[in-house]
């Protein structure tokens, strides 16, 4: 089982209404880009939020990486900042509680997943939770010139997110992007993919830990969700084709695939309508034949009853009754 089992957002009427789910929006700051090359976590944040925009809980802390500090030009965290910060293993119970029953979300979730797999899962965080990448979702649903978290936020709402390159600031921006996407979609968005897992009892109980946040957590409600001025795609792209750099050739390939798939669905729909029409015609003809047969039986029964009453009044059959009797009873005629 993978660290995360990734789902997607769609405007098709399948899956679960995205507004009804809860999401654990994750962001991390690290000493480098690849844990296989020695990069380690130095900050972790999770924003637990409902799809309708209600913030449930926020959490963030610096992390002691026990490794040389790198990436300061991006996150601005120095060696002295992590003194007294907890090590990764102390975060596992809190992270598991925030993940439990939620879809884990990240903007370019592949990056966060690498560090979950390298550090948090070996420290006891259960693997296999449901996941959703807002970067892939944006590329799948909207036609934008840029999809990075700050630039997409500005293109869509006119505002730049605050607290960039802090884990909690970026987690908040990603959470806001997600719920505004759900609110602004031209059709109801649904989540399709693995269901969230409940992790209670799968990790140790939380113990008192001195977390060290450089951004003040807050569970206050956000200001009203903003209206987007954006071009939503007429044909959704396959999220699996929306990863990586998503350069011109990659975008063109994903768009061509979406158009081809849309044409195939239209052909199937037309075939289903035609097949349904033929089936309805055949079924209608069968019903008419059955109804006609029932009417014939009723007429035959009524005719026979009338003849029997007539014979009873006259004292028996007449010679002129023989042809009818022969037909009805199978007796040989004269």
The answer to the question of residue 302 being in a domain is no
Instruction: Tell me how far apart the alpha carbons of residues 16 and 190 are, in angstroms, rounded to a whole number.
Output: 5
Structural domain contains residue 309: no
Contact in structure between 98 and 24 (CB atoms under 8 Å):
yes
Q: Number of structural domains, the chain?
A: 1
Q: Quick: pLDDT tens for 128-147.
A: 999 999 999 999 999 999 99
Residue 234 vs residues 141, 152, 187: alpha-carbon distances, Å: 8, 19, 11
Query: Would residue 322 count as lying in a domain?
Result: no
Euclidean distance between CA atoms 3 and 125, whole angstroms: 9
Q: Looking at the domain assignment, is residue 288 inside a domain?
A: no
Domain extent at residue 230: 4-245
Q: What whole-number percentage of the chain has pLDDT above 70?
A: 81
Give domain status of residue 178, yes or no: yes
pLDDT of 62 strictly over 70: yes
Average pLDDT value for residue range 260-286: 77
Return phi, psi of residue 78, to 5°.
Answer: -100, 175
Measured between alpha carbons, how far is 249 from 307 in angstroms, rounded to an integer?
Answer: 87
Q: With 0-12 CB in 10 A as exposed, 13-18 as middle and 19+ as buried, what is 140?
A: buried
- Gap between the Cα atoms of 11 and 292, Å rounded: 48
Burial class, 237, CB count within 10 angstroms (exposed 0-12 / middle 13-18 / buried 19+): buried
Q: What is the pLDDT of residue 289?
A: 65
- How many Å apart are CA 291 and CA 280, to the nearest integer? 16
Whether residue 330 has pLDDT greater than 50: no
Is the residue at 317 inside a domain? no
For 140-181, the pLDDT digits (tens) are 999 999 999 999 999 999 989 988 889 999 999 999 999 999
Are the CB atoms for 23 and 103 separated by under 8 Å?
Answer: yes
CATH number where 69 lies:
3.30.420.10
User: Any idea which residue has 């019903």 for tokens?
Assistant: 287
Residue 303 lies in a domain: no
Look at residue 145 in the predicted model and tell me its pLDDT: 94
Cα–Cα distance, 139 to 107 (Å, whole number): 11
Whether pLDDT at 295 is above 70: no
Residue 155: inside a domain: yes
pTM of the model: 0.79
Of the candidates 278, 274, 168, 185, the residue with the CA atom closest to the CA atom of residue 232 = 185
Q: In whole angstroms, what is the distance from residue 101 CA to residue 91 CA?
A: 18
């Amino acid at each position: 089982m993978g660290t995360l089992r990734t789902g997607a957002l769609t405007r098709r009427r399948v899956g679960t209404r995205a507004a009804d789910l809860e999401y654990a929006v994750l962001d991390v700051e690290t000493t480098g880009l690849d844990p296989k090359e020695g990069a380690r976590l130095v900050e972790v944040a999770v924003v637990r939020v409902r799809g309708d925009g209600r913030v449930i809980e926020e959490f963030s802390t610096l992390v002691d990486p026990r490794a040389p500090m790198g990436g300061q030009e991006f996150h601005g965290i120095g060696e002295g900042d992590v003194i007294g910060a907890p090590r990764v293993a102390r975060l596992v119970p809190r992270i598991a509680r925030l993940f439990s029953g939620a879809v884990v979300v990240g903007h370019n979730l592949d990056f966060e997943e690498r560090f979950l797999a390298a550090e948090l899962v070996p420290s006891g965080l259960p693997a296999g939770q449901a996941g959703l990448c807002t970067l892939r979702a944006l590329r799948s649903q909207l036609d934008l010139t840029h999809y990075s978290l700050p630039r997409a936020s500005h293109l869509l709402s006119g505002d730049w997110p605050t607290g960039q390159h802090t884990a909690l600031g970026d987690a908040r921006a990603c959470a806001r992007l997600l719920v505004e996407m759900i609110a602004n979609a031209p059709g109801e968005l649904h989540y399709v993919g693995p269901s969230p897992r409940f992790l209670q009892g799968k990790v140790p109980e939380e113990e008192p830990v001195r977390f060290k946040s450089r951004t003040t957590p807050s569970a206050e409600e956000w200001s009203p969700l903003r209206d987007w001025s954006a071009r939503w795609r007429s044909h959704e792209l396959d999220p699996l084709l929306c990863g990586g750099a998503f350069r011109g050739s990659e975008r063109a390939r994903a768009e061509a695939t979406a158009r081809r798939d849309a044409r195939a669905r239209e052909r199937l729909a037309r075939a289903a309508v035609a097949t349904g029409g033929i089936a309805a015609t055949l079924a209608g003809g069968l019903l008419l034949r059955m109804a006609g047969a029932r009417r014939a039986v009723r007429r035959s029964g009524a005719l026979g009853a009338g003849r029997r009453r007539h014979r009873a009044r006259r004292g028996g059959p007449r010679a002129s009754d023989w042809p009818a009797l022969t037909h009805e009873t199978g007796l040989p005629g004269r």
